[in-house]
């Protein structure tokens, strides 16, 4: 690893700092899930919410929706 850092010119602390930065890709989906759930008084489960999200975002996996809802 030291060789790679030397070749790229990166400092060790900069490398590990950027490793820690994680972008949450589910923010928009999470907001829509909450909105759909509240709009339907909590009567929608992950299956119905997945269908509604597919109309908005296109392809989305039911497992992803289920994991976000838990």
| Whole-number pLDDT of residue 26 | 87
In a domain, 35, yes or no: yes
In a domain, 32, yes or no: yes
Instruction: Specify burial of residue 54 (Cβ count, 10 A radius: 0-12, 13-18, 19+).
Output: middle
| Residue 49, domain extent | 23-70
Say whether pLDDT at 6 is over 90.
no
In a domain, 11, yes or no: no
pTM of the full structure: 0.66
| Whole-number pLDDT of residue 37 | 94
All residues at 6 or more sequence positions from 26 whose CB lies less than 8 Å from its CB, including other chains: 64, 68
| Whole-number pLDDT of residue 34 | 94
| Whole-number pLDDT of residue 16 | 86
Query: Token digits for 18?
Result: 């950027």
* Count of domains observed in the chain: 1
In a domain, 6, yes or no: no
Per-residue pLDDT tens digits for 7-50? 888 888 888 888 887 778 888 899 999 999 999 998 999 999 99
In a domain, 15, yes or no: no
In a domain, 8, yes or no: no
């Amino acid at each position: 690893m030291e060789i790679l850092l030397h070749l790229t010119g990166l400092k060790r602390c900069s490398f590990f700092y950027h490793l820690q930065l994680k972008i949450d890709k589910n923010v928009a989906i999470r907001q829509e899930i909450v909105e759909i759930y509240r709009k339907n008084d909590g009567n929608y489960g992950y299956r119905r919410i997945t269908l509604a999200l597919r109309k908005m975002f296109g392809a989305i996996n039911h497992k992803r929706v289920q994991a976000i809802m838990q």
